[in-house]
Structure 1
């Protein structure tokens, strides 16, 4: 790591130790595919990731990245390669696996919650990749997620905001069933009460609609659904939206600054590659599915 004044978004040594083997293996594979020809890499992978975390947290444009980070063209190049090569999904799957085990749970979740949310996009996102949510009067994109019972993200789907909740639910269920065969129970709101319930049953999943308690006034956590609602709120209030923040990670949930195992119920969970939901919108197609993958080190 270079000698510079640290930023609050920088990775701690313990968190970097979780991620470093995956990124180094990616770099080594690229060198092998290129027959080890060309100039050796000169930029520290940790600094590249620190730069992405700084961008995600502060929301600055690429060109305004502080000069003590690698050049913004280099940082964006790594980001594009990692997104294309599935590195973010690999990291998410690994951290999801480790976080659940650290909290004394089976690494393969058996229950979760599903939800959607329409969000506005930045002015740099082309209108052709957006839609209008007529019910909420929002022009932008719609984010569909399934989380486990601790709020860790399992599946993310980003569509134009004019997509129906049922259409999103069907695709989320198919993806979750493929990636998590042990999944048997999902809680949802009334937007998924018909088509999705029947489709889930065919997949062997019990999708239960959880209603707000009649007569409740003001804010009240909804049983079983509060985890996915909290995850959505974390995604919305983060400048970079769903994004590189996941591991800002699920590794936070694994380690405190002193390196101790963390058992908090923090909802700092999201899917790395979907950072492009608000940023780099021109690189995001109208319909994108993020599918975390588990890998072995």
Structure 2
């Protein structure tokens, strides 16, 4: 992870440009648009305060919204995850994944999908992250923070199977997923393994497998746009999470 934002290199642009509509000449350079979006992600700038050296903020937001709606960010994220796994000698798709949640505060004056996580005392939203055993983000979901982890993650099972395919065998999670979520996995012949620290221990204890997803959650602190949820729609919140993973993978493989 670099300490400051850097524009896309030629090799990084070549890795993601096949997923973008480059088939005709445009008024704005799409590479500059992508750089603007990644700069927003890293710095946490508001859309309307985008500096003048970047394209007009309405233009940048237009492309962000368009690529969000047609699934472009998700496709890029999936392709880069596969590329990075092959780079380290692994199969393109994981056979085991880890799931965990993160409760984050929601910006003021936003009431959609807001709730209070009583355990963590956070008034905002909850992120559900599914990562492979090396921390790459494969699937994310966002909902109000007052919803329980396990029941809220049930809908992610079918999406995960569609995304990863038949190679998936096991899902790791904590006690909160050892209920309806584990039962839903069993319906698809998937194993659920509870990864929790021993009850007799005190303080922070790294738990095998589960620390990987917790590290991925920690990586979000490098991106000011997502240290807090500023989005009116949960679809935008999910896209910023995918973009954070995209930027991490790009810096890692190229």
TM-score, normalised via structure 1 length: 0.75
- Structure showing greater radius of gyration is 1
Taking the TM superposition and a 5 Å limit, the aligned residue runs for 1:181-220 are: 181-220=166-205
* Cα distance, 1:83 vs structure 2: 0.7
Instruction: Look up the match of 2:231.
Output: none
Distance 1:203 1:233 in 2: 31
- More divergent stretch after superposition (243-252 vs 152-161): 243-252
Distance 1:217 1:238 in 2: 31
CA distance in 2, matches of 1:209, 1:65: 44
1:20 matched to which residue of 2? Answer: 17
- Structure 2 counterparts to residues 145-294 of structure 1, below 5 A: 145-180=129-164, 181-241=166-226, 242-255=241-254
Over the residues paired in the alignment, what is the CA RMSD in angstroms?
1.7
Unaligned segments of structure 2, at least 5 residues: 227-240
Q: Retained in 1: the 8 A contact 2:73–2:242?
A: no
Instruction: Deviation per CA, 1:23-46: give whole Å up to 9, x if none.
Output: 1xx243xx6xxxxxxxx5121111
Cα distance in structure 1, aligned partners of 2:41 and 2:29: 19
Give the 3-state SS of the residue equivalent to 1:245 in structure 2: helix
Contact 2:103–2:126 under 8 Å retained in 1: yes
Alignment CA distance shift 1:214-1:134 (3 Å): closer
After superposition, the C-alpha distances for 1:98-122 in whole angstroms (9 at most, x for unaligned) are 1111111000111011111111122
1:128-155: CA deviation from partner (whole Å, max 9, x where unpaired)? 3311212222111110111111111111
| 1:236 positional shift | 4.4
User: Could you tell which deviates more after superposition, 184-193 or 213-222?
Assistant: 213-222
- 5 Å-filtered alignment, 1:59-74, equals 59-74=44-59
SS at match of 2:217: helix
1:87 aligned partner: 72
How far off is 1:80 after superposition? 0.8
- CA distance, structure 2, for counterparts of residue 15 and residue 249 of structure 1: 11
Tell me if structure 2 keeps the 8 A contact 1:144–1:172. no
Q: Which runs of 5+ in 1 are unaligned?
A: 1-6, 32-39, 256-297
Secondary structure of residue in 1 paired with 2:243: coil
Conserved in 1, the CA contact under 8 Å of 2:98 and 2:133? yes
- Is contact 2:5–2:42 with CA below 8 Å preserved after alignment? no
Note the C-alpha offset of 1:169: 2.4
Count residues in correspondence.
236
Distance in 1 between residues matched to 2:222 and 2:251, nearest whole Å: 18
